[in-house]
Amino acid sequence: MQNMVTSSLPVVRDTPPRDVEGAIERTIADVPSPHTQPVSDPDRQAEAIAKKAAKHAALLSGSLALPPGPIGMLTVLPDLYLIWKTQRQMVADIFALYGRTAELTRTHMLYCLFRHAASQVLRDVVVRTGQRVVVSQLSGGVLRTIVHKVGMSVSKRVAGNTASRWIPIAGAAAVGAYAYWDTLQVAKTARRLLADPALDAPPPRKER
């Protein structure tokens, strides 16, 4: 079921994204191959992977936030993109631990990465039917619309946090701490999805 939406977003290589929406599109354009294999105790392994990814994201984000003032502001978008790539790989690795790699699509990735930051936008992507969680596979136009809305939501959050980049050292520590927390929230969303017996997907939603 992987990558059911083949024409929804362009596959673009690692050139710098121009804005938050472009960075999101670049992040979910490909579902990466996992670096892990199915294991008998996936919960314990998933927790370890989440903590390792969170530490990496914190170090990365804190380092990019060290330059103060205008120079530090220029690192905001590269910071976001690199953190999302770290989180994307983490999600792929966690799915693989549970033997569920074939179910991981761009829609799953979008939901896992941004559910905690843009819950209102993504509330209809995943619905519960009885005891099962269903992840809708979105048509190209619907996916682009949701990515745009997620981008707007994330941009507002980023605008509210950029003041910390004007404060040397302490600001970098705060940015790193947020990246750590943010990455753990992504892992929590992925594991919540995997706690259900299946992530069956209905046909792609059509644009109205």
In order along the chain (208 residues), what is the average pLDDT of each group of 10 residues?
42 57 89 96 96 94 65 68 95 97 91 82 65 64 83 73 55 82 95 71 46
With left for phi above 0 and alpha for psi between -120 and 50, is residue 69 left, alpha or beta? left
Q: Phi and psi dihedrals of 105, rounded to 5?
A: -120, 180
Comparing CA positions, the residue from 2, 12, 63, 51 lying closest to residue 199 is 2
**Residues linked to residue 128 through DSSP beta bridges, in sequence order:** 133
- The full set of domain ranges for the chain reads 40-194
Whether the Cβ atoms of residue 194 and residue 100 lie closer than 8 Å to each other:
yes
Tell me what pLDDT residue 67 has. 55
Dist CA 70 CA 22 (whole Å): 22
Distances (CA, A) of 26 to 9, 14, 74, 75, 188: 8, 8, 19, 17, 23
The continuous run of DSSP H or E covering 174 comes out as helix 170-194
Q: Single out the residue of 42, 52, 35, 137 nearest to residue 99, CA to CA.
A: 42
